[in-house]
Amino acid sequence: MTHQQFWALVKLLTPYIKEGTKKADPNGFIAPSLRISAAIRYFAGGSPYDIMLTHGISPSSLFRSVWVVVDAINDCP
């Protein structure tokens, strides 16, 4: 995925990302681009521990982000 393709995907999915946009997560706000990036790495088979370390998020935030992105993809026409 190129840089431009990633940002086009972020622009497409951001309106459908419902969690974390209106209120902060327990550990702080997680930007939609960070959620999408973490989810892509997870879907590609990345280690959850590596993803948590490189993205600076907790285990629960990682798995919550994956499902938030899945829901956004399902809601996007």
How confident is the model over 34-72, as pLDDT tens digits? 999 999 999 999 999 999 999 999 888 899 999 999 999
> What is the b/e burial string over 20-58, where b = at least 16 CB atoms within 10 angstroms of the residue's CB?
beeeebeeeebebbbbbbbbbbbeeeeeeeebbeebebe
- Residue 39 included in any domain: yes
Residue 43: predicted pLDDT: 95
Between 26 and 40, the higher pLDDT residue? 40
Residue 24: predicted pLDDT: 55
How confident is the model over 3-19, as pLDDT tens digits? 999 999 999 999 999 86
- Residue 58 included in any domain: yes
Please count the other Cβ atoms lying within 10 Å of the Cβ belonging to residue 60: 12
- Residue 41 included in any domain: yes
Total-model pTM: 0.85
Residue 28: predicted pLDDT: 76
User: How far is 76 from 29, CA to CA, in rounded Å?
Assistant: 23
Contacts of 33 (CB under 8 A, 6+ apart): 7, 10
- Residue 59 included in any domain: yes
